């Protein structure tokens, strides 16, 4: 397993460690429910240094990004970011990602999922027909997500950059905790507010930044948070997890990501998605909550009242914030209407659930 710059910190703090996407990652410290509520009510710190980062630069940079992503990166100006996805040639999704505009029409940073770094790099380079300059900086980039309603107060105390007024999906770059060239963005995967902090890992930068954040955050009840709570937090918001809710066989139109699919430019699978937009899709990603007692898990079958299989669960959990079991999954479009009753097959029993809107409430 590959360590992150913070692996020794996690072990020293007694984290439950496990392999994730080839990395030695903390799953939990004090327990998923406690960590989940810490982020919802105060502030928590996630080590997400396993994520991948690519720099795309030069006069052909925007052209390359436009051809391999569905969202319109031409709308980005300096200091802005957007959520997007890279479609394959068959109407599926290679990966979902963030696109950061560091220098308009010239320098961009793509942030991709840890398990897809090699696949994404190969996909992007195979489409780089006009010679954009690309660099895989994943191995030398550290990334912390500081999330929760108190997060920006903690971060603001360590920098002269204006963090308190940082708008959603914008970023700034400067000195943080005495470390130069730190990029801080108002993004995250929890729906609880906060920032993500990118910096190059050298000269003990990781230890300096980690220690500074936890020292400053002590009065706010700051805690380290593992990947277990990261999953329950994102699921409450209805955020897709690559490999579960979206993959190489699901389209953004089926996954409710039509809002990041812009037909003002040409990109891979555009004609497939345009046809789906005009004529509809046969399956849709839905949110559901359990009516009867039970927790849905990935790959559990979804049926109608007569027992006919109509879909499959992609994610499910007991929501710490809401106190009820929730999940997402794909069902035949005819069964995707809000409040429609569906049934989850759990150990050969049909457990009643209903389709609800997301984010869950």
Q: Which pLDDT score, from 0 to 100, does residue 12 have?
A: 97
At 343, the pLDDT band (50, 70, 90 cuts) reads very high
**Per DSSP, what are the bridge partners of residue 259?**
none
Q: What is the mean pLDDT of the chain?
A: 97
CATH architecture of the domain with range 1-279:
2-Layer Sandwich (3.30)
Q: Which pLDDT score, from 0 to 100, does residue 271 have?
A: 97
Q: Which pLDDT score, from 0 to 100, does residue 337 have?
A: 97
Q: Average the pLDDT over 310-333 and give the result.
A: 98
Helix axes 227-237, 32-41, angle to 10 degrees: 60
Q: What percent of the chain has pLDDT over 90?
A: 99
For 275, other C-beta atoms within 10 Å of its C-beta total 13
For 273, other C-beta atoms within 10 Å of its C-beta total 23
Q: Which pLDDT score, from 0 to 100, does residue 214 have?
A: 98
| Residue intervals in the chain for CATH 2.40.30.110 | 282-361
Euclidean distance between CA atoms 298 and 304, whole angstroms? 18
Euclidean distance between CA atoms 162 and 89, whole angstroms? 42
| Residue intervals in the chain for CATH 3.30.1360.120 | 1-279
| pLDDT tens-digit readout, 79-134 | 999 999 999 999 999 999 999 999 999 999 999 999 999 999 999 999 999 999 99
Euclidean distance between CA atoms 256 and 273, whole angstroms? 12
Q: What SS3 state is found at 243?
A: coil
| pLDDT tens-digit readout, 192-234 | 999 999 999 998 999 999 999 999 999 999 999 999 999 999 9
Q: What SS3 state is found at 257?
A: coil
Candidates 3.40.50.12780, 2.40.30.110, 3.30.310.10, 3.20.20.100; correct CATH number of 282-361?
A: 2.40.30.110
- The predicted model scores a pTM of 0.96
């Amino acid at each position: 397993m590959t360590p992150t710059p913070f692996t020794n910190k996690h072990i020293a703090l007694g984290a439950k460690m496990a392999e994730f996407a080839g990395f030695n990652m903390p799953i939990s410290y004090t327990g998923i429910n406690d960590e989940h509520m810490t982020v919802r009510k105060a502030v928590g710190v996630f080590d997400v240094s396993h994520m991948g980062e690519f720099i795309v630069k030069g006069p052909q940079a925007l052209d390359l990004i436009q051809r391999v992503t569905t969202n319109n990166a031409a709308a980005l100006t300096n200091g802005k970011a957007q959520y997007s996805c890279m479609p394959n040639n068959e109407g599926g999704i290679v990966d979902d990602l963030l696109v950061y505009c560091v220098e308009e029409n010239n320098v961009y940073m793509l942030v991709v999922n840890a398990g897809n770094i090699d696949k994404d790099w190969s996909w992007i380079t195979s489409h780089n027909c006009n010679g954009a300059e690309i660099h895989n900086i994943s191995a030398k980039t550290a990334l912390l997500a500081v999330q929760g309603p108190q997060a920006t107060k903690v971060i603001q105390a360590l920098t002269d950059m204006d963090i308190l007024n940082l708008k959603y999906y914008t970023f700034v770059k400067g000195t943080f905790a005495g470390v130069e060239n730190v990029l801080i963005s108002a993004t995250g995967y929890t729906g609880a507010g906060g920032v993500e902090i990118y910096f190059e890992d050298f000269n003990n930068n990781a230890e300096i930044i980690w220690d500074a954040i936890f020292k400053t955050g002590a009065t706010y009840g700051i805690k380290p948070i593992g990947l277990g709570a990261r999953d329950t937090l994102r699921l409450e918001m209805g955020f897709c997890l690559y490999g579960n809710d979206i993959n190489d066989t699901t389209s953004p139109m089926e996954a409710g990501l039509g809002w990041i699919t812009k037909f003002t430019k040409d990109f891979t699978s555009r004609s497939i998605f345009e046809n789906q937009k005009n004529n509809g899709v046969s399956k849709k990603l839905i949110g559901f909550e359990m009516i009867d007692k039970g927790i849905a898990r990935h790959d559990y079958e979804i049926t109608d009242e007569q027992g006919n299989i109509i879909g499959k669960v992609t994610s499910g959990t007991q929501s710490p914030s809401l106190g009820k079991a929730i999940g997402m999954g794909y069902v035949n479009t005819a069964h995707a209407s809000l409040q429609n009753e569906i049934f989850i097959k759990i150990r050969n029993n049909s457990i009643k659930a209903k389709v609800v809107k997301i984010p869950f409430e």
